[in-house]
């Protein structure tokens, strides 16, 4: 138990630092002022990757249609618009894992953060 005196207030912490770190949910909320810009770069990059995959599959599989691509874009817009935290973006990237190469390190929170920073350059 830690007892701290801050600005004349007595603060008692019954949890150890380890308990706090273990039980802490990682959210890393995105500020409202940054959310639209992050959504825009995510959509642009994921669309680019989808288009690349779509063209590759279209040349090998005749059943890939423009309607499939349009439907996937609609779903992408919806999925990205639901991203409010870094964890949401990480889950989104994991859902779209087929768009990335095996060597792309975007599936961890650190990798996701670096991916977003790279897109914002």
pLDDT at 21: 47
pLDDT at 20: 46
Residues 49 and 41: their CA atoms lie apart, in Å, by 12
Nearest in space to 26 (alpha carbons), one of 118, 110, 114, 119: 110
Mean pLDDT of 28-43: 95
The 10s digit of each residue's pLDDT in 6-20 is: 455 555 555 555 544
pLDDT at 23 over 50: no
Residues 113 and 97: their CA atoms lie apart, in Å, by 16
Nearest in space to 97 (alpha carbons), one of 112, 78, 81: 112
Residue 53 CB-density burial (10 A; 0-12 exposed, 13-18 middle, 19+ buried) = middle
Mean pLDDT of 86-108: 93
pLDDT at 31 over 70: yes
């Amino acid at each position: 138990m830690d007892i701290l005196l801050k600005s004349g207030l007595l603060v008692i912490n019954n949890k150890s630092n380890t308990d706090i770190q273990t039980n802490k949910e990682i959210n890393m909320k995105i500020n409202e002022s940054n959310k639209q810009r992050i959504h825009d770069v995510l959509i642009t990059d994921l669309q680019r990757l989808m288009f690349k995959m779509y063209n590759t599959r279209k040349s090998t599989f005749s059943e890939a249609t423009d309607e499939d691509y349009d439907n996937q874009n609609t779903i992408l817009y919806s999925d990205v618009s639901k991203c409010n935290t870094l964890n949401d973006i990480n889950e989104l990237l994991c859902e779209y894992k087929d768009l990335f190469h095996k060597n792309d390190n975007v599936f961890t929170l650190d990798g996701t953060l670096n991916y977003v920073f790279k897109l914002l350059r």
